Chains A and B, each alone.
Chain A
Amino acid sequence: MTRTLAPLVGAALDRVDGARKVAGAAPYPNDVRYPDLAYAALVRATISAGRVSGIETEGAEGAPGVLTVITHLTAPRLSRGPATSIGPQPTPPLQGDRVDYDGQYLAVVVAGTREQAVAAADLVEVRYEVDEPVLRTEDPRAEREENPWHFDTTRGDPAGALRTAEVRVDSTYTTPHLTNNPLGPFTTVARWDGDDLTVHDSTQHTANTRSALAGVFGIPEERVRVLAPFVGGGFGAGLRSWPHVTVAAMAARVVGRPVALELTRPEMFTGTGGRPSTVQRIRLGSTVDGRLVAIDHHAEYPAAMDDAVRYRVTPRGAGAYACPNFAARDVQVRLNVPPTGHMRAPGTAEGLFALECALDELAFRLDIDPVDLRLRNVAEVDPENGRPWTTTGLRECYRVGAERFGWYGRSPAPCSMRDGHRMVGYGMAGVTFGWTMMPCRAAATLHPDGTATIATSATDIGTGTYTILTQLAADLLDLPPDWVRVELGDTRLPKAPAAGGSGLTAAVTNAVQDACRNLLEIVRNGHPRGTDVRAEGASAPPEREDVAPSGAFAAVFAEVRVDPDLGELRVVRLVTAVDGGRIMNPKLAASQIIGGTVGGLGMALMERTTPDPGSGRIMNANLGDYLVPVHADVPDVDVLFVGGPDPLTPMGVKGVGEVGVVGVAPAVANAVHHATGRRLRALPLTVENLL
């Protein structure tokens, strides 16, 4: 079929779900209501280590409207669901008296209204035997796991090359614990119908919630249905099936009524993961003319006592710089901290902060322009296996970004540019983002009235999946966009992977393309009139020996102003050039990069989940004290896309969900060095460190 309508893929179509969202008509999990819905409230641990020696529930049980109070003494025994590609499932809640972190769930109160549940939860009294918590990675009691996920790599002879290198950099960088904080509080509404469980959940991965719950309750997956047609943001917080999801389902089973559990903002800080803090040592060796001869990257980060997620801080292939001698080592340290998770560009954002700052230090040491230094070391092939990249947009990112920014207009010496009494600095960073794609299925149905429905269990967490699939199907089926309906976020639909790892768009567009092709094939071969025609399609990561799949590339350029008396740091301009493969919708893709950039700005300037040093309790578990940038803090963000479709997959999409966040913090930190001559190696870049 040839298209008669103007092509939509690549067009800046408005969000197809925008009007529903603005009108409050899009059903988020916390909008779900059942006639006999009961509400749950959590009781959380107020110590970081120890055990519950007593728990008094009578007061709560007698409070108005209370249906039940469940503690570890009364909770049904649960199992752990199957591990996934991001690691084991979180430890099932309420299974023992051990307390491993402040905020751990110790009881759940279920009542007729949310207010009754919250009020009664206050009446539960917990007694503890308190242990001395392990809160710092330096604590000699902390258990260390070298190479926890077998990602460590060594190529060549990094130690030898460092010893003989003409120029060396040896620096240690730290990044803080961060919390994802999607705007929509995570909510689970669970309902049992005999042994069938239906769950409305704030998840980025319906299939994972389903298999996790099936495992927890020991029931077949087919008996669990997970719905997440709309999710109020995730930033990675919704990649795991967290303990509160299990608590809601358990509570619903105990009271024999549907139960809603909506996390409070403070509970989001301990209950939905986050970016672990890191300490990273980087050693670089180089020739005097700026060829990297050695990269040695060592990272330490905490994991919760009874939990762990598959994680990697040291970037794969060291951010794809050509360097013959390379070592990357990760160490995971067990602490009494809340379970960690995955926050937008997990590991990569922290790892490349260190590496891109170290490269800036090297450029300064060598008196070579930072862009030129990177250009001299671009890996033309995947340094891990020597295969050529499927696409190489990185050079183009540097060129186009630098030009738009006016990079070469800077005077290279630190402290050499001023605006009144403010010091001016330009800084930049390069980004090579890992490639991910998981198997995906989708269905396409043509209805007798000529409209079509696309269906897959994938979620749209605000990124635009509804819209791009509408565009794609409209093109392939030669329909106007409002003749296409997209159904998402339901495990009854064909199985899709997580909205994570920047891999969903590639997976789902290829699957939908396949489904539409199969549908057209059936239509072409003739079909009975007046009935639906349905076809499924699938995509899978291509297995190629000859090329290396390249993820997105980016180059970020930042201009800062520093007030030397106050230490005040303002970012006044940001340019990001991105190679994201085929851009399905430039408006939505730019929104992803802008949003990522704002997240990166938060990481650079203000975000930090701060534990009390003595108790481990998070002191700023609210949006008044955990600072994220407001509009007035965000300067012009100029987004440019370079490159073209990635020949690796039919649709040529690479994914732009995370790449935007990564280079911002190092670009800003490097700009601060250019402005002030001060090398800040700890995030966030606070005023006090700039005095």
Chain B
Amino acid sequence: MKPRPFTYLAPTSVDEALAALAEHSFDAKVLAGGQSLAPLLNFRMASPEYLIDINDVAGLDRVRRVDGGWHIPALVRQRTVERSPELRAAFPLLPAALEQVAHPQIRNRGTVCGSLAHADPAAELPTVMTALDATMRVASVRGEREVPAEEFFQFHFTTSLEDDELLVGVTVDDLPPATSTGFAEFAPRHGDFALAAVAGVVTRASDGAVGAVRLVASGVAARPQRLTAAEKVLLGQRPTPDVVGAAERAARGEVDPTGDIHASADYRRHLVGVLARRVLTTIAEEGDHA
């Protein structure tokens, strides 16, 4: 199929983009890499009257160092982040997850922020950004605001972005010392959205016990789900196989996924447990050697 006719706008600055968004708000859609939006348009699941293509907007295509972290603006492609030596070193979680997003051709076009704004509950990046406690930089003609990842993702394909707002970028703070991360997912067919995925960020105290932990699952709820029961099991404990096993059981117990033709609810629950164990085991080994 083909999209319904729309008016195409191609602003060249953030201000122009925000002005267009303010004017057309609900009737407009932002076009970034188009890897999710173009199919939606073609199937007429989205029929905006205005398409605001931000690809010509200046200054949004390079990651940059900011105070205590890294900023990924709206036009940075997924593949750029995956291959950036600085970001790979700072956040190994990003390439680990990105390598499993679709296929390279799609990551060459698809943006990091586009995936976040799209907010597919099965997507890798929202889960990873939640685990990294990233901050969304959101702007409109009304002003700018910062939204923590956990508040940004609200429901299936729903974020806290207002109709006139643009996600101008996402900022990820440097990880504290003695922090290890891990990511695991499973898709029966390569390149597909995972049936479930788990991302973990663990900071150890000086005695080796878990001082801080964020464990997040995708594919099991309407948005990235923090595995708080499993986190509670881990906090203050050394991540021994027994503790990790207890966390696995807690993770399995606290998710309530739904089944579909690709996998049953039971299998997804089982999967979250196994993936959590794998992530935590890698993290534990890494931390023990550090």
By a beta-carbon cutoff of 8 Å, the part of chain A in contact with chain B is 115, 118, 565-568, 605-606, 610, 619-620, 625, 627, 629-630, 632-633, 686-688, 691
- Residues of A within 8 Å of B191, CB to CB, are 630, 632
Q: How far is the CB of A564 from chain B (nearest CB, A)?
A: 10
Do B188 and A687 touch across chains, with their CB atoms under 8 A apart? yes
Q: Please report which residues of chain B, range 163-201, place their CB below 8 angstroms from some CB of chain A when the two chains form the complex.
A: 186, 188-192
B261 at the interface (CB under 8 A from A): yes
B271 interface residue, CB < 8 Å from A? Answer: yes
Chain B's interface: helix, strand, loop or mixed, by majority?
loop
The residue on A at minimum CB distance from B184 is A566
Interface residue stretch chosen among B120-128, B232-240, B262-270 = B262-270
Q: Cβ of B271: which chain A residues have Cβ within 8 Å of it?
A: 566
Q: A565-B274, A688-B264, A688-B267 are in contact. Are A630 and B190 (CB under 8 A)?
A: yes
Given the interface contacts A610-B261, A691-B267, does A630 sit within 8 Å of B188 by beta carbon?
A: no
**Nearest-CB distance from B127 to chain A (Å)?**
18
Q: Nearest-CB distance from A610 to chain B (Å)?
A: 5
Q: What's the Cα separation between A568 and B103 when bound, in Å?
A: 20
Chain A hits for B142, CB < 8 A: none
**Contact: B267 with A687, CB < 8 Å?**
yes
B2 at the interface (CB under 8 A from A): yes
Known: A115-B2, A565-B274, A566-B271. A687 touches B190 (CB 8 A): no
Q: Do the beta carbons of B189 and A627 come within 8 Å of each other?
A: yes
Additional pairs, 16, CB under 8 Å, beyond known A566-B274, A568-B186: A115-B2, A118-B1, A566-B186, A566-B271, A606-B188, A606-B189, A625-B261, A625-B262, A627-B189, A627-B192, A630-B190, A632-B191, A633-B189, A687-B188, A687-B267, A688-B264
Distance between Cα atoms of A625 and B193 in the complex (Å): 11
Cβ of A565 to closest chain B Cβ, rounded Å: 5
Find chain B residues with CB under 8 A from A627 CB. Answer: 188-189, 192
How long is the Cα–Cα vector from A460 to B261 in the complex, in angstroms?
36
Which residues on the A side are within 8 Å of B186 (C-beta)?
Answer: 566, 568, 687
* B140-163 residues at the A interface, CB under 8 angstroms: none
A627 CA / B192 CA spacing, docked (Å): 10
Please tell me if the beta carbons of A633 and B190 are within 8 angstroms of each other in the complex. Answer: yes
In Å, the complex CA distance between A606 and B195 comes to 14
Q: How far is the CB of A598 from chain B (nearest CB, A)?
A: 13
Tell me if B189 and A629 are in contact (CB < 8 A): yes
Expressed in whole angstroms, the Cα–Cα distance for A566 and B190 within the complex equals: 15
**Chain B contact residues (Cβ within 8 angstroms of A): what range?**
10 to 19
Q: How far is the CB of A178 from chain B (nearest CB, A)?
A: 15
Shortest B35–chain A CB gap in Å is 14
Decide: A630 near B189, CB < 8 A? Known: A115-B2, A687-B267: yes
Asked if B270 and A691 make an inter-chain contact with CB atoms under 8 angstroms apart, the answer reads yes
Q: Which of chain B's residues has its CB closest to A605's CB?
A: B188
A191 to chain B, nearest CB (A): 25
Rounded to whole angstroms, the CA-CA distance of A568 and B186 in the bound complex is: 8
Residues of B within 8 A of A566 (CB): 186, 271, 274
In the assembled complex, the CB of B65 is this many whole angstroms from the nearest CB of chain A, namely: 34
Chain A residues near B264 (CB-CB < 8 A) = 688
Interface CB pairs A-B, < 8 A, 18: A565-B274, A566-B186, A566-B271, A568-B188, A606-B189, A610-B261, A619-B261, A625-B262, A630-B103, A630-B189, A630-B190, A632-B190, A632-B191, A633-B190, A687-B267, A688-B263, A688-B267, A691-B267
A605: chain B residues at CB < 8 Å are 188
Query: Bound state CA distance, A118 and B192, in angstroms?
Result: 30
Q: What's the least CB distance linking A416 to chain B, in Å?
A: 24
Contact across chains for B261 and A620 when beta carbons are under 8 A apart: yes
Nearest B residue to A564 by beta-carbon distance?
Answer: B274
Determine the distance from Cα of A474 to Cα of B1 in the docked complex, in whole angstroms.
44
Docked pose: A632 CA to B192 CA in angstroms: 11
3 A-B pairs with least C-beta separation: A632-B190, A565-B274, A688-B267
A5-B45 Cα distance, complex, nearest whole Å:
60
Chain B positions 247 through 290: 1 when the CB is less than 8 Å from some CB of chain A, otherwise 0: 00000000000000111100100110010000000000000000
- Which chain A residues lie closer than 8 Å to B192 at the CB level? 627
A565 neighbours in B (Cβ, 8 Å) = 274
The distance in angstroms between the C-alpha atoms of A610 and B260, with both chains bound, is 11
Q: How far is the CA of A672 from the CA of B188 in the complex (A)?
A: 16
> With the chains together, A619 CA to B189 CA distance in Å?
19
CA distance A632 to B2 in the complex (A): 29
Q: CA of A252 to CA of B188 in the docked complex: distance in angstroms?
A: 45
In the complex, which residues of chain A have a beta carbon less than 8 angstroms from the beta carbon of B190?
Answer: 630, 632-633
- Which of the listed residues A118, A567, A629 has the most CB atoms from chain B within 10 Å of its own CB? A567
- B2 / chain A contacts, CB cutoff of 8 Å: 115
Binary contact readout B189-217 vs A (1 if CB under 8 angstroms, 0 otherwise): 11110000000000000000000000000
Whole-angstrom CA separation of A630 from B189 in the bound complex: 7
Bound complex: CA A691 to CA B1 (Å): 40
A420 to chain B, nearest CB (A): 12
Residues of B with C-beta under 8 A to A687: 186, 188, 263, 267
Which residues of chain A come closer than 8 Å to B263, judged between CB atoms?
687-688
Q: Which residue of B lies closest to A628 (CB)?
A: B189
Provide the residues of chain A in CB contact with B261, threshold 8 Å. 610, 619-620, 625
Residues of B with C-beta under 8 A to A619:
261
Of all chain B residues, the one with the shortest Cβ separation from A633 is: B190
Residues of chain A lying within 8 A (CB to CB) of residue B262: 625
Which of A605, A606, A627, A687 has the largest number of chain B CB atoms within 10 A? A687
Q: Which residues of A contact B103 (CB under 8 A)?
A: 630, 632
Give Cα distance in the complex from A687 to B188, angstroms: 8
Chain B residues with CB below 8 A from A567, complex form:
267
Q: Who on chain B is nearest to A684 by CB?
A: B188
Chain A minimum-CB-distance residue to B189: A627
Contacts of A633 in B (CB 8 A): 189-190
State how many angstroms separate the Cβ of B84 from the closest Cβ of chain A: 23
| Bound: A688/B264 CA distance, A | 8
Query: Complex: how many Å from CA A564 to CA B261?
Result: 22
Bound: A191/B125 CA distance, A: 52
B188 surroundings in chain A (CB, below 8 A): 568, 605-606, 627, 686-687
Inter-chain contacts of A686 with B (CB < 8 A): 188
Report how far A461 CA is from B270 CA in the complex, Å: 44
A625 to B189 alpha-carbon distance, docked (Å): 11
Docked complex Cα distance between A620 and B189 (Å): 16
Q: How far is the CA of A627 from the CA of B263 in the complex (A)?
A: 13
Please give the distance in Å from A609's CB to the nearest CB on chain B.
11
Task: Give the residues in chain A near B189, CB-CB below 8 Å.
Answer: 606, 627, 629-630, 633
CA of A568 to CA of B261, assembled, Å? 17
Q: Which residue of B lies closest to A610 (CB)?
A: B261
- Looking across the interface, which residue of chain B has its beta carbon closest to that of A620? B261
Give the residues in chain B near A632, CB-CB below 8 Å: 103, 190-191
CA distance A632 to B106 in the complex (A): 15
Alpha-carbon separation in the docked complex, A115 to B190 (Å): 34
The docked-state distance in angstroms from the alpha carbon of A610 to that of B259 is 14
- The closest CB in chain A to the CB of B193 belongs to A624
Distance between B28 CB and nearest chain A CB, rounded to angstroms: 23
Contacts of A115 in B (CB 8 A): 2
Q: In the complex, what distance in Å separates the CA atom of A421 from the CA atom of B262?
A: 25
Whole-angstrom CA separation of A691 from B274 in the bound complex: 12
Taken together as a complex, chains A and B put the C-alpha atoms of A184 and B86 apart, in Å, by: 45
Q: With the chains together, A421 CA to B205 CA distance in Å?
A: 31
Instruction: Name, among B186, B188, B191, the residue most crowded by chain A CB atoms within 10 Å (CB to CB).
Output: B188
The residues of B that contact A625 with a CB separation of less than 8 Å are 261-262
Bound: A593/B2 CA distance, A: 36
CA distance in complex: A629, B262 (Å): 14
Q: CA A614 – CA B261 in complex, angstroms?
A: 14
Report the bound CA distance from A691 to B264 in whole Å: 13
Determine the distance from Cα of A691 to Cα of B271 in the docked complex, in whole angstroms: 11
In the complex, what residues of B have CB within 8 A of residue A620's CB? 261
* Most chain B Cβ neighbours within 10 Å, of A115, A565, A568, A625: A565
